[in-house]
Amino acid sequence: MSELQHECGIAAIYHLPGRQVSPLCPEQGPDEVSRLMPRMLLDIQNRGQLSAGISTFNPERNQLIDTFKELGGVSEVFRLSHRGKAESLMKEYAGRAAIGHVRYATCGAEDRSYAQPFERHHIQKHKWFSFAFNGQLANYPQLRQELLADSDNYLARETDTEILMHLISRELSDGDKPSLIDVMRNISHNFDGAYCIVLVNALGDMLVARDPLGVRPLCYAKEGPLFAAASESVALLNLGFQAESIHDLEPGFAITITDGRFEIEPFVTSTGTAHCFFEWVYFANVASKLDGRSVYLSRTALGKELAALETVPIDADTIVVPVPDTSKAAADSMAFELGVPSFEGLIRNRYSGRTFIEGSGNRKRKAETKYTPLRDVLEGKRVLLVEDSIVRSTTMKVLLERIRKLGRAKEIHVRVACPPIVAPCFYGIDMSTINELFAPKFMGGGALTEQAQAAMAASLGADSLRYLPVESIARAIGFASERLCRACITGEYPTPCGRELYQVALLNARGESQGRTYETAVAGAG
């Protein structure tokens, strides 16, 4: 069985009823607001590069809901470099409401059937729906087993998205046309983990929901008749919404549009948040603002934290170099605090995907062609190389070798704007096992020490290495630590199933198992 492994992006847009035409789409008009969806998905392409897709609603066509999705990036999927083909697609899938999705996966499941949105046909309009999902259900093994306990049930894919689809369908089949908010209220009690959902049905009703912990981000805006939502605020800002109109959907809340009525209400009580800190450190677009906290300013604060810990002698040959692109804000901030120049000593191939979002089989090969060291900048220098995080270390090892060989740097001191990643993630990031992670084998389950960092540096081929301490994260982002999910750097999980899976992962690590944590959990549940 392939494990669930995705960090995705979702979006939704709706032109509410009425004669007024939104100034954000004056040329297309209300019935073609779906044309804006590819633009939104481009702005959250950082969250997934394997596939992209949209579902649109149009009451004037026979196919009330129609879905288009393919493997590839947004530009490739929607033929944005070919005006005629792009226009043909936009005409065919024109609608007054649309949802969209970008996805990545790392092993197996690299076929179109896993691309989202997932559409469920039905003869009754309220049971015909399409939805997209960002997150991961930590209790996927249990939910899967419960569904398959009925021999009449069948699952075609190894993904929690299909589980969600069946649970939604089951709720829609109970009673007389349940409201979308009631559907969320009923299914949410089954979930342990992270989930942001966008859904549209054949009646033209829409649902946008965020889990009660707010693990994954979800923003929305409404100006006049136009409503839009997305995983990150940058997609709404670039669409033309005013910054003051963009809000974070509160954890445990859902937006519904039913018969043209727009409402925001809770579907479950939120007792606290567990925002994923890794969104600010790595995943999110630096131009985004998540839960009221700027990604850019958070990363500059991380750079200040690094500067405060620096002990390497600073002289005229010392430079700071970021690993492009997500480390640049932290590197520039660190350099400013230390009074040394920050240079782009590494040039990134813009057409190479993020190696953390690549399959393990080709990650090393991708890393070798991803960055080009600039000898004119690096030669003879003491380089403070700033990276946002080290997960598996494949990229870093290759990068250091290339900086020494091609860049001819005198010294390389790696500075990581994040604590060591020591535990898996079961809420939407592809880190399922302890043995695949770089840091745990050096830390031995204990605290981060100077000796451990020296051993890591030697393993990587660096002259020294320094991580940030765990407490730096809350300070930099501006949230109290108890409001963040820091499971991957502390081993402390915010949900019961997350804690159970971590115990499975620890047992696997002690046995040097190569299996994914979910595989073991499913086998144990059988």
Q: Which residues are catalytic?
A: 8
Cα 32–chain centre separation: 28
Neighbours of 30 (CB within 10 A): 20
φ/ψ of residue 263, rounded to 5: -140, 150
φ/ψ of residue 261, rounded to 5: -90, 130
**8 Å CB contact between 338 and 363:** no
* Cα atoms in the 13 Å half-sphere on the side-chain side of 30: 14
Q: Which tokens belong to 88?
A: 């043909």
Dist CA 280 CA 426 (whole Å)? 18
Handedness of CA 208, 212, 214, 215 (dihedral sign): negative
Dist CA 397 CA 364 (whole Å)? 9
* Residues present in the chain in total: 526
Report which DSSP code applies to 75.
Answer: H
Q: Which tokens belong to 462?
A: 């660096």
Dist CA 326 CA 354 (whole Å)? 10
Long-range contacts of 203-206 (CB under 8 A, 24+ apart): 203/125, 203/126, 203/259, 204/57, 204/59, 204/96, 204/97, 204/257, 205/126, 205/180, 205/256, 205/257, 205/258, 205/259, 206/12, 206/14, 206/97, 206/99, 206/180, 206/255, 206/256, 206/257
Q: What angle, 0 to 180 degrees and rounded to 10, lies between the N-to-C axes of helices 394-402 and 360-370?
A: 30
Residue identified by tokens 């306990």 is 149
91 membership: H or E segment, kind and range: helix 83-92
453 contact partners, CB below 8 Å, separation of at least 6: 464, 465, 466, 467
Q: What angle, 0 to 180 degrees and rounded to 10, lies between the N-to-C axes of helices 450-460 and 394-402?
A: 60
185 contact partners, CB below 8 Å, separation of at least 6: 267, 268
Dist CA 140 CA 118 (whole Å)? 18
**8 Å CB contact between 74 and 52:** yes
